Amino acid sequence: MEKPVVFQVQHLQKSFGHLAVLKDISLTVHSGQVVSIIGPSGSGKSTFLRCATLLETMDHGTMRYLDDVVCQDTPKGSRYASSGTLRKLRSHFGLVFQNFNLFPHYSVMQNITDAPLYVQKREPKAVLQEATALLERIGLQGKENAYPCELSGGQQQRVSIARALMGQPEILFFDEPTSALDPELTGEILKVIRDLAAQMMTMVIVTHEISFARRVSDHVVFMADGVIVEQGPPDQVIGNPSHPRTKAFLKKLHDGR
């Protein structure tokens, strides 16, 4: 039996001036699925995530989370839901940035509880209990009162992941979560993501860690030049790609090691 659809976008188009960054992107993500998006720099991967998380508006296309419609396509372009509906829809997803984007003047605990307390208006005692348990789960117990400048890059990224999880999202988006980290710290973050995958967290991960994408993903998307060139199971797309563009990209990565 097919699992419910958590996120779906159809025929997404996005341009900046005369530059068409996303030309026709369609993707469906089911509950519990881990989707990795790979591809060369400039292929539109990060712009896709920014459209999916409402940081950019689509020019054309339709998008929905669960049964909630974010925007519908019209001849004049994508028509978005009302601002009130969009505020509600933001609770469906979390986004982990490549450069952490933590509040430098907030402690770890303040960073991860700020939105649940003051945006979602949740009960303070329950939020504190959840945050404490979450920090322990990702190996940051004892760091509740530390500030971002006192943490390693790997620890800061774990705080960023915890902050996203505190919103209780149905789906998590990751934009190159290890690109700002050295190889030793990269392993910390990949372990956290593997643990989330084992707990059936629905995730979309833009990554350059190809071997990790192959191990952790149910579905791999290869993007280039603003389109999805090839997608399917990781053993197919990464292990035995059919499109010449995918083959060339993976060969270049392999030869560059």
- Interval 21-57: pLDDT, tens: 999 999 999 999 999 999 999 999 999 999 999 999 9
Q: What is the mean pLDDT of the chain?
A: 92
Higher per-residue confidence, 179 vs 92 = 92
How far is residue 4's CA from residue 13's CA, in Å, rounded to a whole number? 25
- CB distance 229 to 243 below 8 Å: yes
Q: Is the pLDDT of residue 147 over 90?
A: yes
Give residue 2's pLDDT band: very low, low, confident or very high (50, 70, 90): confident
